[in-house]
Amino acid sequence: MRVYDRVSLMFDVDRDYNTCFHFQVDARGCVGDDCWGDKTWDPKWFVAVHREAESWTMELAIPRHLLAGEALLPGQAWAMNVVRTLPAQGVAAMGLPAEAPETAIRPEGMGLLLFTGNDRAEASRK
């Protein structure tokens, strides 16, 4: 995977800024995952990749129960980061420091993923 354009998503669900779940997808659709370096962790998640001449997109479905057993509450927040690695070009990240995750996962630079209530979903059903 190291020689391909890839995106990594990291989720620190307890916001201890020490450990996180790590999901990685490259432009070919190959995947990798680990739980704070434990490569024996084997979650079942789903990926779709669409490639064009100059771009690619990915869609992920990660069952919430793989990351957190409890129901999500409005106002709850997880730490997270999104990192794109372009070999021979560099790394772009939502949070800093921007490093390729296989070099060093750095949870202390993650941003927040804030969960809200279902107000919009409820309003659209009425």
pLDDT per residue as tens digits for the range 46-92: 999 999 999 999 999 999 999 998 888 999 999 999 989 888 888 88
Return the CATH fold of 6-125.
Answer: Immunoglobulin-like (2.60.40)
CA pair distance 121, 126, nearest whole angstrom: 9
Are the CB atoms for 63 and 30 separated by under 8 Å? no
Tokens of 20: 């996180």
What are the domain boundaries of the chain?
Answer: 6-125
**Ramachandran region of residue 107, left (φ > 0), alpha (ψ -120 to 50) or beta?**
alpha
pTM (two decimals): 0.82
